[in-house]
Structure 1
């Protein structure tokens, strides 16, 4: 059996690897998620299967609440785009979270899950007049405005409805987040936000227009940041603008620093939430003292990624002269991040073997694309029928799943200290053509 030389061979000790993951552990030779056996989960619900830990979600959210507690006014707005399952949203809403949304669909998901409209911030670059109307009627807490033309549109819609729209301007600080270019959002080449150079002009315009309540300033520089310095650099640029605005008589009520703090997928070493907070708190406390500014944060991946796993079964082992393929029942249709971003995510056995030799495998799906891979060059001891767990899939996993190759999307399960329940049913074949006509 040949090994690939295109990627470094990745070998993980499963027990050591999960030691740093919340509410995931091995017990009696089997992987458990929030005290539920993955053997039970795969037998009861089948695979592929998304599994979430309720207590990991809560612990990750609480880390932000506790770390930024020295500030008197903090709102943690979970980024719905990372995982929009109603049970995930309801878990966080009950804990007191606000929500960061980017579409009307996400707005109604949050409301359906019991989230408070007043704790919703509406981001996104392409809001329409209908979107703005719907959000105003719902009573959302704030629009994060991405363009000067959007300021004018929100004013027009709010005036027509005889409502006042609360807005914050999203400023693009041109800070290099040093992350994957597809998830970088704070450079001048990115489509997001109003340029730093236009910020003062944009605020003066917003102040002059009717039916707008100018309450905040916002920035978001990217996702999966493992270094804190870009956040500090962005905060410094926001402070420059805030100081200028107050000298012009424009008094804001909150600063929104977005999200983007990274997680460990395999061997990354991201800063902890507490370390992140410690780096920002001195300047944030000064802003609170000088201007009474509260803080909004919009974490998504950092709350949900390592609260979830994707379970998948080995259907075929296919050693060839050049590479060895382990074909599993998940694919790029269920988890596109490896194919889209070349993301490297941990793949560990649900029940490690003691009697099978380790071999270097490419773990791939059955979709008819050469880009359909979940992990390359993985040292694994495999047999047909084994269950594997892909960790870090609680964010940007199911939400990016598709029906490509007419594959029904998997079920989602919520575990809670030994209990488990379906929070989204597995799609049926009939679901694949629901709404279509011959």
Structure 2
């Protein structure tokens, strides 16, 4: 059995919103050949597709709206890709925002986002981020009693009433209670113990009455974020039903009926780069996850006699993942002792989750897509470390100047980049209305050292021996 060509591999991995194709043996990204993009904008190069971002936003919104009887709002999780052009595109298409830091909140504000649909998360919020959120009308997710006290004081000083959600967490008791719905819940016990965010129902029951009585605070609902722990549908149905039951229990204890429930993010994608267990292609669609989550949450709320509130969701990776491709150029190709190494000018500086989260990117021979693989190669980056992008990869004959492409580089790539070995970070272009435009310029060596300072006289200073 022969290995698949790049074109055959791509065709087997395409998802409904991808804008990838092959023309004349070359990868085409949203209407533009890889080689032409590199020739015009330099290498390596992040290429984003505005159309894919918007298609993904609309798709996940529809997946939940179709199964939820009240309004559904999508709050884009900027942590996955914080390009200002991306955030502006999300704002223009009706997405609110999930921000964690003062920087993420600033980016969300400056790009015209509807601040009534923006939340600020974090287990240790600074006074600065709370103050900015209060001034601009963002919703603050309370993670502890101290959040309530500090936000109240800041809101009073600002002369406004702060909108807030109480962030909930599931506990081992919830896991035990839900084991019939989701027998594999036992695998999550360590996560439930170690995760620092959110409040148990018991702790929330102590805070909610205090918040309701505080004239500086307006409690509108609850927040929850389980994150990406599994792609099993039963897992999502379990936590959704458990969350609904918890809200019902809190209604009994406090009398509070939420106007909003925010279920956070972590929704799996179909081409699974980030949590590769079994087959790369996830057999489930976002429509199936949306239906399962809504069904479970409605069931849990109904059990507790809680009216169905507005639903907020905070997707990041689902929207940004396949919206970006990283293009790179082949340099030295070396063979020795039965192994071949293909060096490229990108590195784990640009895709750090290869190293710290074991992401498995699809790597394509962008300018040799129709050629049959004949070699087994190790693809490595331009750093002094030995980290591999891919090992023992079936690849066609490759030489200096060829282009390669890493799919699904729209998420957790640019935001996590560093400058190890003093390597400047690449440019980013976005294909907008059919044309590629620069949305982040390529760094220079001056940029790498821009924040450094050498004290006066240090160059001529010699420390005496002790």
Normalising by the residue count of structure 2, what TM-score does the alignment of the two structures yield? 0.85
Q: Which residue of 2 aligns with 1:373?
A: 388
Tell me the matched-pair count: 426
Preserved contact between residue 172 and residue 188 of structure 1 (Cα < 8 Å): no
Preserved contact between residue 184 and residue 223 of structure 1 (Cα < 8 Å): no
Alignment counterpart, residue 193 of structure 1, candidates 188, 191, 198: 198
Preserved contact between residue 166 and residue 212 of structure 1 (Cα < 8 Å): yes
Distance in 2 of aligned mates of 1:85 and 1:301 = 14
Q: Which residue of 2 aligns with 1:4?
A: none
Distance in 2 of aligned mates of 1:67 and 1:61 = 10
Q: Which moved more, 1:265-274 or 1:85-94?
A: 265-274
Preserved contact between residue 311 and residue 388 of structure 1 (Cα < 8 Å): yes
Alignment counterpart, residue 221 of structure 1, candidates 221, 226, 239: 226
Preserved contact between residue 186 and residue 222 of structure 1 (Cα < 8 Å): no
Preserved contact between residue 258 and residue 297 of structure 1 (Cα < 8 Å): yes
Cα deviation, 1:318-343, whole Å, max 9, x if unaligned, reads 22326422111011111101111121
Preserved contact between residue 225 and residue 270 of structure 1 (Cα < 8 Å): no
After superposition, residues 21-420 of structure 1 pair within 5 angstroms as: 22-70=18-66, 71-140=69-138, 142-174=139-171, 187-223=192-228, 225-247=230-252, 248-263=254-269, 264-265=271-272, 267-269=280-282, 271-284=284-297, 287=301, 290-321=306-337, 323-352=339-368, 357-370=373-386, 372-381=387-396, 382-416=398-432, 418-420=434-436
Distance in 1 of aligned mates of 2:127 and 2:434 = 46
Cα deviation, 1:39-94, whole Å, max 9, x if unaligned, reads 21111011111111111111100012222224331110010000011111111111
Give the Å deviation of 1:271: 2.5
Q: Which moved more, 1:272-281 or 1:17-26?
A: 17-26
Q: Secondary structure at the match of 1:132?
A: helix
Preserved contact between residue 76 and residue 296 of structure 1 (Cα < 8 Å): yes
Larger radius of gyration: 2
Which structure 2 segments of 5+ residues have no match?
Answer: 176-181, 274-279, 455-466
Q: Which moved more, 1:121-130 or 1:243-252?
A: 243-252
> Closer, same or farther in 2 for the Cα pair 1:217/1:152, shift >3 Å?
same
Distance in 1 of aligned mates of 2:369 and 2:131 = 57
Give the Å deviation of 1:148: 2.6
Give the Å deviation of 1:346: 0.5
Cα deviation, 1:303-322, whole Å, max 9, x if unaligned, reads 11011110011111122326
Give the Å deviation of 1:367: 1.4
Q: Secondary structure at the match of 2:242?
A: helix
Distance in 2 of aligned mates of 1:359 and 1:199 = 59
Distance in 2 of aligned mates of 1:56 and 1:417 = 12
Distance in 1 of aligned mates of 2:229 and 2:45 = 24
Preserved contact between residue 27 and residue 369 of structure 2 (Cα < 8 Å): no
> Closer, same or farther in 2 for the Cα pair 1:430/1:244, shift >3 Å?
same
> Closer, same or farther in 2 for the Cα pair 1:355/1:346, shift >3 Å?
closer
> Closer, same or farther in 2 for the Cα pair 1:196/1:330, shift >3 Å?
farther
Preserved contact between residue 315 and residue 327 of structure 1 (Cα < 8 Å): yes
Q: Which residue of 1 aligns with 2:178?
A: none
Preserved contact between residue 362 and residue 376 of structure 1 (Cα < 8 Å): yes
* Cα-Cα RMSD: 2.7
Q: Which residue of 2 aligns with 1:16?
A: 11
